[in-house]
Amino acid sequence: MKKLVLSIAIVVLASCGGKKEEEPFGKKQVEPVSVTEEAATVNPMLEKGKKLFEGKGTCTACHKPATKVIGPSLKEISKIYKDKNASIVTFLKGEGEPIVDPSQFEVMKANFAITKNMTDEELQALEAYVMSF
Ligand code: HEC
């Protein structure tokens, strides 16, 4: 009889120990979602613009959201274009004047080789993306 009780105890202990339930709360980190990412799920143009900006356009090489790298930050560009009610599409077609940093225009101008080959829709997507900052 003693032996039986002991073996039952072992079985119970073993089955308890082996099954460690995953913690229901805590642990799981919620990623902070930026305003732009949230907006991108609402407006497909922004999603498209982001892809072009980071991909085919290679714009991220020189433009970051909030800091000036080689080119002005997207926040700065967006602010100035809103203030002056100017069109990024026109600028990227090579038909506008630089209004953000004309002294560095030559560096930006080289990219018109890429943007001039984009469709109007692609340029509008890029504009929407930049203006979302
Ligand atoms: C080689 C670096 C470089 C790359 C790549 C680049 N830019 Fe620029 N960009 C600049 C510099 C430098 C300026 C500042 C000169 C100026 O204002 O024209 C600028 C300025 C701008 C401006 C403001 C223009 C104005 O009115 O003054 C816009 C809009 C812009 N870039 C968009 C883009 C987009 C969209 C792309 C990708 C297709 C891109 N840039 C890729 C360097 C770059």
Query: What is the rounded distance in angstroms from the CA atom of residue 69 to the CA atom of residue 62?
Result: 6
- Kindly state the tokens that stand for 52: 């072009």
Query: Which residues of the chain are modeled with pLDDT < 70?
Result: 1-42
Query: What is the rounded distance in angstroms from the CA atom of residue 61 to the CA atom of residue 53?
Result: 9
Indicate whether residue 105 lines ligand 1 (CB < 6 A): yes
Given this model, what pLDDT does residue 26 score?
56
- The pTM (predicted TM-score) of the whole model is 0.77
What spacing in Å lies between the alpha carbon of 114 and ligand 1's midpoint? 12
Given this model, what pLDDT does residue 18 score?
47
Given this model, what pLDDT does residue 4 score?
55
Given this model, what pLDDT does residue 39 score?
56
Query: What is the rounded distance in angstroms from the CA atom of residue 52 to the CA atom of residue 10?
Result: 63
Indicate whether residue 45 lines ligand 1 (CB < 6 A): no
Given this model, what pLDDT does residue 23 score?
52
> Atom 37, ligand 1: which residue's CA is nearest?
59
Express each pLDDT in 104-126 by its tens digit: 999 999 999 999 999 999 999 99
- Burial environment of residue 16 by CB neighbours within 10 A (0 to 12, 13 to 18, 19 or more): exposed
What spacing in Å lies between the alpha carbon of 22 and ligand 1's midpoint? 49
Give me the DSSP letters along 54-115: HTTT-GGGTB-SSSBSSSPPHHHHHHHHHHTT--HHHHHTT-S---S-GGGHHHHHTTHHHH
Residue spans per domain, the chain: 34-131
DSSP state of 24: S
Pick the CATH number of 34-131 from 1.10.760.10, 2.60.40.10, 3.40.50.300, 1.25.40.10: 1.10.760.10
**Tally of CB atoms within 10 A around 3:** 7
